[in-house]
Structure 1
Amino acid sequence: MKHYEIEKDMRYLELLAQSFPTIADASTEIINLQAILNLPKGTEHFLADIHGEYEAFIHVLKNASGNIKRKVNDLFGNTLRETEKRELCTLIYYPEQKLELVKQNEEDIDDWYHITLHQLVAVCRDVSSKYTRSKVRKNLPSDFSYIIQELLHERTEDRDKTAYVNVIVDTIISTGRADDFIIAIANVIQHLVIDQLHILGDIYDRGPGAHIIMDYLRHRQNWDIQWGNHDILWMGAAAGNNACICNVIRLSLRYANLATLEEGYGINLVPLATFAMETYKNDPCEEFIPKITGEGSHLDERTCRLTAQMHKAISILQFKLENQIFESHPDWDMTSRCLFNHIDYKNGTINIDGKEYEMTSCNFPTINEKDPNALTDEEKLLMRKLHHSFMVSEKLHKHMRAMLQHGCMYAIYNNNLLFHASIPLNEDGSLKTVEIFPGRKYAGRKLLHNIDMLIRTAFQNDSDPDERQYAIDYFLYLWCGKDSPLFDKSKMATFERYFIKDKETWHEEKGNYFKLRDNEEVIDRILDSFGVEGLNRHIINGHVPVRATSGENPVKANGKLMVIDGGFSKAYHNETGIAGYTLVYHSRGFQLVQHEPFTSTEDAIRTGTDIKSTTQIVEMSNRRMLVADTDKGRELRQQIADLEELLYAFRHGYIKESERK
């Protein structure tokens, strides 16, 4: 190492020496890091478009897309019956609930404890084998950390240790800690079987428990999210965009699902209900009868009618507020979506692109034909109340902070480019330049990066007021703008679907990304533009449900693109024929898992019902991948190089060794 290189790095090396003050400390860390490089690559788990289906989501995480079941089969093979393996898996997924059932039915509970504890230790030993002892220790509960470590690293096959291990297990049982230990080690297995969780957007809308999913994620480590269009809508609502607030409420009413709004975030919808019942008391609101899937199927006639009235009231308010924002931002080129301006209210028709269409109804008691986008005094008061309710919801803002902390528009992990929906493209497949702020135009990676920065600006009170207001408004463009990478269609035909009979107006022309995404050359161009390198590089995204029943393949562009939105949401099941895809990337390669609909958590606990899943091998490596082959490996090699430079500095007197205090 040359003298000038040491001089250049002296300040950094002096800082590094504070953590590793001696040759022995630095050498030990190099040995440790070199060893980590040769461990198997950790398992990455990819999910997309969860849409509030919290039971299915949590179950897929608990069973790691069938990974735990596969490990139990590998470990116990024919030594356990299928029913016993199923019971063991259920215990790992839902330890508290399953223990209650076992204790009601098991005649010799101590014998069951003894057998089960040994089985759980064996599973835990297997899932922890690819990690350092230090990493495993960090995942252990403090109450049982020492005991679990002893059991993981001592085996009954060793004669000298058999009595030692058995006494530990016997003492856990005799001291009445068996239940607590089982719960603890089951949770350790769940955490260790997935090293990194990637969510490719859309936690929110349609299903009943987005808030439950966010609570669950907030208590997990090692997860990230690439924001989806529905997540952005909720983030916009939390930032104070009134059009986003109306959209969030409208979608909840459309799917007869108010649990997240009312129970999750305490949003007060009584003012909306009062306004809707009075304003639309003589209106059948037929276009606004909710889609009765899931919980909505239990609505009685009276509740269904009130829901439809509220649905119409918030929709009209939404369209007015959207139109106001579109007119205030002519650079978005979305004023053509101000459709209230094109209605012939006397004849009940609307003019779109020079053609007249008959409307399903033309009952708009709150619209002034001379100024159709103006809010009435009653609507202004209602909007103030709804806005206040969103602004003071502590839990909503806590969840949005988690979204910002763990989220981004795109991410690159281990040669995989992750984003929710699309990259805007021109017709020839080249990157499309998009203006996201007057005078600021970007494409590809720079476009997504600057949108990311703009989103964060909306939540920063100390940012420039004009730029912050633009950022808050921009959430609406991200939701429905034709060049939004989270939407990428010619229009969002919500108005047409409600009010125009002719279905030709309902068509939403997909952007060029969706038309060209099976073209390997186009996908390579996108990967190049994001700086994703390597022979086995991929784009992984969701957003568009894969119609498995129609024979659509989620793997496209000769294996370089994987679309993993198979439809968690019950609203999609008839369309897709399945209940979601998840992707597992472990040390041997990629496995795509296709799931059938989940019955319920109760069935899973009582009868051992698991999600029926079909695994497709997407890409397997000819050798087992190591940490050295990953992004983490590159970081560790750089750390090793830095430590070797520190050793040189110690040994040649540039830096003096010091003793730890």
Structure 2
Amino acid sequence: MNELELKYLKSLAHQYPNIAAASTEIINLQAILNLPKGTEHFLTDIHGEYEQFNHVLKNGSGAVKRKIDEVFGNTLSSRDKKALATLIYYPAEKLDLVMQEEDNIEDWYKITLHRLVQVTKRVASKYTRSKVRKALPKDFAYIIEELITEKAEVSDKEGYYNEIIHTIIRIGRAPDFIIALSNLIQRLVIDHLHIVGDIYDRGPGPHIIMDTLMKYHSVDIQWGNHDIVWMGAACGHLACIATVIRIAARYGSLDTLEDGYGINLIPLATFAMETYKDVNCDTFAIKFNTDYDTKDLSLDMKIHKAISIMQFKLEGQVIKKHPEFQMDDRLLLDKIDYDKKTVRIGDKEYAMSDVEFPTVDRNDPYNLTPEEEQVMARLRQAFLKCEKLQRHIRFLYTNGSLYKVHNSNLLYHGCVPVDEKGDFKSANVEGREYKGKALYDVLDNCARKGYYAKNEPIEMYRAQDLIWYIWAGPNSPVFGKDKMATFERYFIADKETHKEVKNSYYSLLGNEEFLNKILTEFGLSTRNSHIINGHVPVELKKGESPIKCDGKLLIIDGGFSKAYQSKTGIAGYTLVANSHGMRLVAHEPFESTEAAILHESDIFSDTTIVETSYDRILVADTDIGRELRESITQLELLLDAYRDGTIIEK
């Protein structure tokens, strides 16, 4: 044993000071290795749809219903199963209704508590008692443990458990206990949650989703391009701030910024009202939903146009500062012929629907006016000083990354940029070329420097420009297209200019050799590994399939966002991986939380078995299993050191 190994074992000995302690831990860890692996839940492209997100999270993409079916089989009617499932999803709200409707509430409590205890036993069975104990609600920890643990020493088990439940009801704690059990079932039915990008934009409640994720017991996030632009905005990057506000204005969700985050948009609104008072803003229509207050429509269209023009200017400044981004084709404000009302793109001129830009200097079109500079400065301070936004973005940094390798799965939001032949395509980042995994790693590092490198401002500002590039750059792995045709979609009727060409990655997804190349690049086996990503909605109504190469790659973006559902034909995919294999779940649109509670309507889900394991997958087969085996090896070395006297027991 060398000196470094001895030093490590002595450190380990502080935690396990004798043979008995080390032996007990080895036995515990070995027992955990032989348990079934926990259930993983994958969601992507949520885009602010918090009601549907919360419901899918509560029902575990059907996992709760499956547990109810496993426990009760044909002994409960489908109606009773639906009622029990709804109670588990929304216990407090459902209890309010039940207490108004039930004539004999005590009988209902008794029946319901017995059923909930049975489901809790089932979902807890794959975990160690220690892990279950940590998940128990503090107020009822002892009682729940008694109810779900077999007690061999009790002769009349039924009488014993009935008496506990009777006492709970008698002392008026049944409602609180039902809520506690329901929340525990939700907690145990899913062991770990993966969010494969795009929490933000379009829908009304990304801040609510972030609050939920911050309370969730185990989660990781792979940043999507819409998350990245919000991260850049929280860093104070002006082009990212303008983009975030423009998208919110476009989708009628400025309330997310004002009410959700408390960001003051009055300086922008005042500027827009004054500067665009007599300016035609028809091109900047709002894509609003039923919750939108149309009395704000005229002002929001002015805000939409004002911030869009500022975005084009600010993006132009970034592009001109960074020729290595190779985005000069996005410099279009200086290609406008105001007399002819056209813009030159490449070697062709296109008619424009709107050239009424009162703040654009034709001789210096990318320069902000003094008034625009003042508005952006105030917005920057509002984003930087928004405590709630900063808290959410820090959570994204702490629990997120551009990609993740986990349990033989490679998770990323967009793609791995490649050329037509399938060779990894490089991008210039701070003077060096990167491709494949190295490109992901360097951009991940830049995204972090843009937020954290406050003591090195020059490096921080350069990194923030790269955050913007990750959002919209042609070789960005989370964007995956040749351009973002925002300007063209606003101003040019000719739809040939709207086309955003996807990276060749998307045309090669049926090629097993290509997918194996990506898996190898990220250090994964080509036999039993999968790639899981989102970003590009799968148009099921056109016959597209989310399952590529017999399940080697899964695209789980099926239109969670209402803005995409007419295109996809469904309301999102989710993926569930448990000890039996993997299931892809296709969801129909979610009506509302109120309907789910009142009518016990769930999201109808169509399940596709992606992969079945004939031998149940154990913790030993996972990444955690590898870590546990390493710990066992170290503890066994510590045992040897105790036994040969190298380290003295305490």
For Structure 1 versus Structure 2, the TM-score category normalised by the shorter chain is over 0.9
Name segments (4+ residues, structure 1) moved above 3 Å.
Answer: 5-8, 154-159
Q: What secondary structure does 1:546 align onto?
A: coil
Relative to 1, partners in 2 of residues 1:413 and 1:625: Cα closer, same or farther, differing over 3 Å? same
Cα distance in 1, alignment partners of residues 454 and 277 from structure 2: 45
After TM superposition, give the deviation of residue 309 of structure 1 in Å: 1.1
Aligned residue runs from structure 1 range 281-300, under 5 A: 281-296=277-292, 299-300=293-294
CA contact (8 A) 1:457 1:463 kept: no
Aligned-partner residue type, residue 562 of structure 2: K
TM-score by length of 1: 0.97
Aligned-partner residue type, residue 590 of structure 1: M
Aligned-partner residue type, residue 261 of structure 1: L
| Aligned position for 1:57 | 53
CA contact (8 A) 2:580 2:617 kept: yes
Relative to 1, partners in 2 of residues 1:500 and 1:647: Cα closer, same or farther, differing over 3 Å? same
Does residue 637 (structure 1) correspond to residue 633 (structure 2)? The answer is: no
Deviations 1:376-395 (A, max 9, x none): 11111111121121111100
Q: What secondary structure does 2:410 align onto?
A: strand
After TM superposition, give the deviation of residue 497 of structure 1 in Å: 0.5
After TM superposition, give the deviation of residue 283 of structure 1 in Å: 2.6
CA contact (8 A) 2:426 2:475 kept: no
Deviations 1:259-303 (A, max 9, x none): 32111111111222221122222233111111133533xx43x42
CA contact (8 A) 1:42 1:586 kept: yes
After TM superposition, give the deviation of residue 150 of structure 1 in Å: 0.5
Identity %: 56
CA contact (8 A) 1:289 1:305 kept: no
Does residue 233 (structure 1) correspond to residue 246 (structure 2)? The answer is: no
Q: What secondary structure does 2:577 align onto?
A: strand
Q: Which moved more, 1:484-493 or 1:157-166?
A: 157-166
| Aligned position for 1:303 | 296
CA contact (8 A) 1:155 1:165 kept: no
Q: Which moved more, 1:347-356 or 1:158-167?
A: 158-167
Does residue 371 (structure 1) correspond to residue 364 (structure 2)? The answer is: yes
2:125 to 112, 129, 135: 129
Deviations 1:422-457 (A, max 9, x none): 11112211222221212x222211211111111111
| Aligned position for 1:622 | 614
1:12 to 8, 11, 14: 8
| Aligned position for 1:652 | 644
CA contact (8 A) 1:294 1:570 kept: no
| Aligned position for 1:481 | 473
CA contact (8 A) 2:249 2:300 kept: yes
Cα distance in 2, alignment partners of residues 250 and 8 from structure 1: 56
Aligned-partner residue type, residue 45 of structure 1: H
CA contact (8 A) 2:472 2:483 kept: yes
Deviations 1:108-127 (A, max 9, x none): 11111111111001001100
Relative to 1, partners in 2 of residues 1:158 and 1:593: Cα closer, same or farther, differing over 3 Å? farther
Cα distance in 2, alignment partners of residues 361 and 545 from structure 1: 31
Cα distance in 1, alignment partners of residues 174 and 153 from structure 2: 23
CA contact (8 A) 1:591 1:615 kept: yes
Cα distance in 2, alignment partners of residues 481 and 534 from structure 1: 30
Structure 2 unmatched ranges of 5 or more: none
Cα distance in 2, alignment partners of residues 460 and 303 from structure 1: 37
| Aligned position for 2:39 | 43
Q: How many residues align?
A: 650
CA contact (8 A) 1:415 1:534 kept: no
CA contact (8 A) 2:414 2:479 kept: yes
Aligned-partner residue type, residue 334 of structure 1: M
Q: What secondary structure does 2:343 align onto?
A: strand
CA contact (8 A) 2:46 2:53 kept: yes
Does residue 468 (structure 1) correspond to residue 463 (structure 2)? The answer is: no
Aligned-partner residue type, residue 220 of structure 1: Y
Cα distance in 1, alignment partners of residues 439 and 363 from structure 2: 39
| Aligned position for 1:441 | 433
Does residue 264 (structure 1) correspond to residue 260 (structure 2)? The answer is: yes
CA contact (8 A) 1:293 1:571 kept: no
1:338 to 331, 344, 349: 331
CA contact (8 A) 1:154 1:165 kept: no
Aligned residue runs from structure 1 range 175-254, under 5 A: 175-254=171-250
Q: What secondary structure does 1:357 align onto?
A: strand
Aligned residue runs from structure 1 range 185-584, under 5 A: 185-296=181-292, 299-300=293-294, 302-438=295-431, 440-533=432-525, 535-584=527-576
Aligned-partner residue type, residue 110 of structure 2: H
Relative to 1, partners in 2 of residues 1:250 and 1:20: Cα closer, same or farther, differing over 3 Å? same
TM-score by length of 2: 0.98
Relative to 1, partners in 2 of residues 1:250 and 1:32: Cα closer, same or farther, differing over 3 Å? same
